[in-house]
Amino acid sequence: MRRDIVHIGSDQLSYEIRGIVEIAERIESLGQDIYWENVGDPINKGQKIPTWMKEIVKSKIDDDYSWGYCPTKGLKETREFLANRANKKSSSKLTPDDILFFNGLGDAISKVYGLLKRESRIIGPSPAYPTHSSAEGAHSGYEQVTYKLDPKNNWIPDLEDIRNKIKYNDSIVGILIINPDNPTGMVYPKEILEEIVKLAKEFNLFIISDEIYGDLTFNNRRAISMSELIKDVPTIIMKGISKELPWPGSRCGWIEIYNKNIDSNFKRYIKSIIDSKMLEVCSTTLPQASIPELLSSNKYDEFLKERTKEVEKRANYIYETLKDVKGIIVNKVYGAFYYSIVFEEGVLNNKQKLNINNPKIKSLIEERVKGVSNDRRFVYYLLGSTGICVVPLTSFSSNLEGFRMTLLEKDFEKFKWIVNTLKSTIINYLNSNII
Ligand code: PLP
């Protein structure tokens, strides 16, 4: 092949949450047990699916229609169910026709950015969940324009930063917010969301609000949906069942489109998303068929409460264990199931290291840390010396050095061991070479 055939945006594709698995597996093959704290998959971490849920899904399998294609937008009854559910709170009415199903929210994300004009940019948070930042970057060929989430201010979006970037960059057509947030675990206060709506209105932007963790909150916080505040601002709300149900293997997510008729350009853009879905015929039928019964069961609320209580216990354990450790910033968290720990500026350098007893693992890590960012260096040493597998924060479109771990380990004794090992490892690492 003599001509360059690669899309200009391909350099923007990166998903370290799974990328780190390759090195972790090599270390595992050299005899080290691995503690997987990288991927947010509750099933992988031992979450048992209750029998009542399985019975509902089995009954749908018995219905032959669940084996067929469904309408492009998704099963009508399910969209009616979801629209009714959303309308209990929303400030602007949603009809079943304003809902569009995808094969997982990841699929929705790539379509939503992919169908924007190349010059049209969506400003998103930093740190950022990489599926968003990569898809946005891939569509435009440049890194996503980002606004800061401030670890010294409870991970709250820096509104001044958003305003300045929007004001001086007229290619920005929309703002992305993820609430509750991945990777920070923060749930935003109403005033901040209201300010984002005001900015969208002032600068004629549309809003994308990823609410896939919307019902997974704790420490007495509720996640306020953007639908409650937007009034007449064109908005796409993203939801799914991968995290809350949890059924990530169903590959089922959807978008709710608000105020599409208010702006003719937004309306055309939405039409293009629906048309592109039509080319694929439709999304997975079985999970859609199961959603109304699953989500309306009174056992579902109980189940969610139980799960969020467990996540709350683990989150608060991290906070209590690490909050006084010198050199790191640790915030209390309120939603989703992740924790991001940030190293204070300047405490990391490229000389620090940890003891690794196994000589083969030691030489593998020493090879891998050459030339990498300082937080990745820490993450690799942590992996080599303890087997704990986390993700460097700089791989979430961020300049902040740190790491993200999950809050999904079911065995609390094991979880405590992981957190306490992290604590001693951070202290040892920071003291290993002070320059
Ligand atoms: N949005 C956020 C914020 C996520 O954390 C994830 C998955 O981790 C997704 C979207 C994608 O979810 P899905 O499994 O539906 O593709």
- Ligand 1 atom index nearest CA of 178: 3
- Ligand 1 pocket test, candidate residues 43, 129, 237, 404, most atoms within 8 A of CB: 129
Please report which helix (H) or strand (E) contains residue 173, including its range.
strand 172-178
Instruction: Return the SS3 of 256.
Output: strand
pLDDT given for residue 199 in this prediction: 98
Distance from C-alpha of 18 to C-alpha of 14, rounded to nearest angstrom: 9
Whether 178 is in the pocket of ligand 1, judged by its Cβ within 6 Å, is: yes
**Closest CA relative to residue 198, chosen from 209, 211, 207:** 207
Burial of 309 (0-12, 13-18, 19+ CB in 10 A): exposed
Give the distance (Å) from ligand 1 centre to CA of residue 284. Answer: 16
Give the distance (Å) from ligand 1 centre to CA of residue 254. Answer: 11
Whether 40 is in the pocket of ligand 1, judged by its Cβ within 6 Å, is: yes
Please report which helix (H) or strand (E) contains residue 340, including its range.
strand 338-343
Residue by residue, pLDDT tens for the chain (435 residues) are 677 767 777 776 666 766 788 899 999 999 999 999 998 889 989 899 999 999 999 999 999 999 999 999 999 999 999 999 999 988 888 999 999 999 999 999 999 999 999 999 999 999 999 999 999 999 999 889 999 999 999 999 999 999 999 999 999 999 999 999 999 999 999 999 999 999 999 999 999 999 999 999 999 999 999 999 999 999 999 999 999 999 999 999 999 999 999 999 999 999 999 999 989 999 999 999 999 999 999 999 999 999 999 999 999 999 999 999 999 999 999 999 999 999 999 999 999 999 999 999 999 999 999 999 999 999 999 999 999 999 999 999 999 999 999 999 999 999 999 999 999 999 999 999 754
Q: What angle do CA 162, 163, 169 make, to 5 degrees?
A: 90
- Ligand 1 pocket test, candidate residues 110, 182, 216, most atoms within 8 A of CB: 182
120: left (phi over 0), alpha (psi -120 to 50) or beta: beta
